[in-house]
Structure 1
């Protein structure tokens, strides 16, 4: 059986490579997510949110992962046309082999249109 660390890493690799459909196979139907400016409830809303951002990625930099049982913290640099140095952090809770909660932290202004 995959660990929470494995599940989060597989999810992250999927969506950051543009395969949102595969990424959603790691997401619980009743996921809750808190992100800057939005609280999301349910897999459908979460999928739309991820699918809206994934196409803007031009790369991913320096990933660090820390796991403690069913909780996983992930730190990375989502690279877009607007920035390659603004960090993002996610804190996941995995239940019954699925990501059930996510807290996503990033600077929204850094990902706006380039000036």
Structure 2
């Protein structure tokens, strides 16, 4: 059996969800994941799947990914590109436990992704 580093797990997760492979992304997420996101906290894989699955189809691309990893914690910084914006940055801070993402803190400006004329 091979094990992947937390950074590799997070990279594979990010590649999957940003390619609309929600099942592939969720295979790397713990059942009891906790996520802090703008607008509210999410508890459990089903809530997290709904959140990620709702946003992923809006993506038109991903710009400039930077990564920092230390131990079981990994941070990603990137630009989620949508029909509305390609310049609003996002940051995610992950904790990986037993080979699965167990915690996520997601930071982005929600208003930057609102449909034009809606704020």
Which category of TM-score, normalised to the shorter sequence, fits these structures? over 0.9
Gaps of 5+ in 2: none
Measured against aligned partners, the alpha-carbon deviations of 1:66-108 in whole angstroms (never above 9, x if no partner) come to 0001000000000001100000000000000000000000000
Residue 99 (1) aligns with residue 112 (2): no
Cα distance between partner residues in 1 of 2:32 and 2:79:
27
Q: Which runs of 4+ in 1 moved over 4 A?
A: none
Map 1:33-52 onto structure 2 (within 5 A). 33-52=35-54
What is the alpha-carbon root mean square deviation over aligned residues?
A: 0.5
Cα distance between partner residues in 2 of 1:114 and 1:83:
10
Q: Tell me what 1:89 maps to.
A: 91
SS at match of 2:77: strand
Gaps of 5+ in 1: none
* Counterpart among 23, 26, 29 of residue 27 in structure 1: 29
SS at match of 1:86: coil
Cα distance between partner residues in 1 of 2:110 and 2:50:
17
Give the length in aligned residue pairs.
115
Q: Tell me what 1:114 maps to.
A: 116
Cα distance between partner residues in 2 of 1:68 and 1:102:
15
Cα distance between partner residues in 1 of 2:17 and 2:85:
18
TM-score by length of 1: 0.99
TM-score by length of 2: 0.95
